[in-house]
Structure 1
């Protein structure tokens, strides 16, 4: 299915799928399984490794020697892109949104350790940052370099192929465990993971509901983005399925005060997971998404006794910036 798209070998796959029984019993009458994509192995792990396998494979096939990408100051994607670039002998340039902090910790500390060229743009508009990356790329080209730009979160149709593969991987593991998956829940920050899961569910014919929990924008924005990415990703696989915004399930009630701003519910979810399962969630994505999952269970969104897979997309390095001062 994916043979037309070159891949870089970056991730330890398959990642485990495990039932988190003690946590499940604490939060309600459903069975929660966790897909451990925090264990993909690239620079402390995370979901971006799956996307980067396809994106960096494309970059390598085009002879790129410099990789540019963007994100927030504590971007997991930026950290992992820098690591992928280093593994493949390329130079990473990270153009991050916001002001440069006085102290670098968490993901930023790892960016420095990886030797990334980190630049900050004090703006709230990623469109402006992508324009800035384009100018940097042009400057590099004028000096004979071969830059390759990876958009925010690696959430392109090509990057989303990583989560088409992940969906199929989950289904194989579920079959081996003798369970039927009813729902897959994921944190939504740029939409590529959700889009890939949707395409995987469609192509496999599995009746699995993909539920997104926004950690940033209001749901209408993500519904449009995810529908577009999923439609274009499907076309890469020679399928003309058109995904519509109204078909995309995203909850935006759990964003709180905004992206990367930790609230009490997020801390409580992180703490409960740590104390029942010994699993560490991140404060920006997985902790906030898990707080949303807990609330949806309380509200009766999921069928009693159903099997829910939560994608642990990583992000734990940000704990050392967001929760420790």
Structure 2
């Protein structure tokens, strides 16, 4: 049986109600063999004996994949980790309606809608652009579990004003609350009702940022790293490189913060998919400041920006492009990986982490681990745009 060795401060920080009943996840080894970085053979590893397992795992070209994509049939991956502490917090504040925003095929919006419906909350989703002629993928899930409103791109450009406006319209005679205010007033108890009555008319509306890029999202990621650091899993003494594909960068920042707090000899490689380095650095600074303000006394571990930066490196994806575009051969690579390993990637997000992990594993310098952030349902949207490639 694995025994968690979290510090007293971490134990106190993680002593709360969670959306996920357990932090468990599957870790799958993969062997890459290749003469070219962009043309490799992929093999899922299946061992007949412990001796064979050790021999192969010690060879170059092996990395591990944290299968967070398997956490939930509809909202697996980092989207769910970021909601792990947030949803119970909303329940504790007697929130009735939650508003967020995202692209037409936003995995975050869909995950929040599913989580809200499972928790007795109503989700209102502001999606950028026009209604699809045939809803599919995350867009379909968003419409099934939440109320979708399509926002013109010109209005969506001013996200804060847009969210504020629609939150007020939904609240009516009720109230609008910000996540930061709920956090500040949270006393650590969860005694209030965790569901809303059908006849309830007074609304309490909470606004969740695009991508759930709020400091509360970091707690679910810290919980994940604490789980992974157990001796029977990744352990706390091995030097590891954790590769994460990054939209907003919140996931990479949360994992790196956990590594620093737990003093693990690990490092996060954050693969930037959209935006400039300064955008990720700005979010890094903001989330760290918010975290120190909220929980520094609980963790008591001397958190500094310099300390965080020793655990986090931002890199560009191997083949940069305008976000959302798919390059020649990428869909075929995703097909190859799926057929040979059972791991489903998408060409927009997780393929970038796979490419970086493959190159690092082939270099053989340090053990490499890829965090699968899910998002594979976005393949439906990609198929609509590139039908001839499927």
Pairwise TM-score range, normalised by the shorter structure: 0.7 to 0.9
Residue aligning to 2:189: none
Retained in 1: the 8 A contact 2:317–2:352? no
Residue 170 (structure 1) aligned with residue 228 (structure 2):
yes
Alignment of 1:1-325 (within 5 A): 1=10, 3=12, 6-10=16-20, 13-21=23-31, 26=41, 29-41=60-72, 43-114=74-145, 116-123=146-153, 128-144=158-174, 145-172=203-230, 175=233, 180-238=238-296, 239=300, 240-243=302-305, 248-254=312-318, 256-264=320-328, 266-294=330-358, 300=363, 304=364, 306-323=366-383, 325=387
Q: Is the 8 A contact 1:31 1:306 kept in 2?
A: no
Q: Is the 8 A contact 1:39 1:46 kept in 2?
A: yes
Query: Kindly tell me: are residues 254 and 103 of structure 1, through their superposed partners in 2, closer, same or farther at Cα, counting changes over 3 Å?
Result: farther
Query: 1:108-160 deviations in whole A, cap 9, x for unaligned?
Result: 1111222x111122327866123211111122333331011111111211111
Do the aligned partners of residues 317 and 176 (structure 1) sit closer, same or farther apart at CA in structure 2, a change above 3 Å counting? closer
Give me the TM-score of the superposition, normalised by structure 2: 0.73
Which deviations, in whole Å up to 9, do the C-alpha atoms of 1:5-64 show, x marking residues without a partner? 753424653011121235798479343101111122162422111211211121111110
Question: Is the radius of gyration larger for structure 1 or structure 2?
Answer: 2
CA 1:140/1:242 → structure 2, altered by over 3 Å: closer, same or farther?
A: same
CA contact (8 A) 2:261 2:303 kept: no
Gaps of 5+ in 2: 1-9, 35-39, 43-58, 175-202
Judge conservation of contact 1:217–1:252 (CA < 8 Å) in 2. no
The alignment partner of 1:271 has SS state of helix
Segment of structure 1 superposing worse, 199-208 or 236-245: 236-245
- Tell me the SS of whatever aligns to 1:38: helix
Partner Cα distance (2:118, 2:288) in 1: 29
* Cα distance in 2 for residues equivalent to 1:235 and 1:102: 46
For the aligned residue pairs, the C-alpha RMSD in angstroms reads 2.9
Q: How many residues align?
A: 320
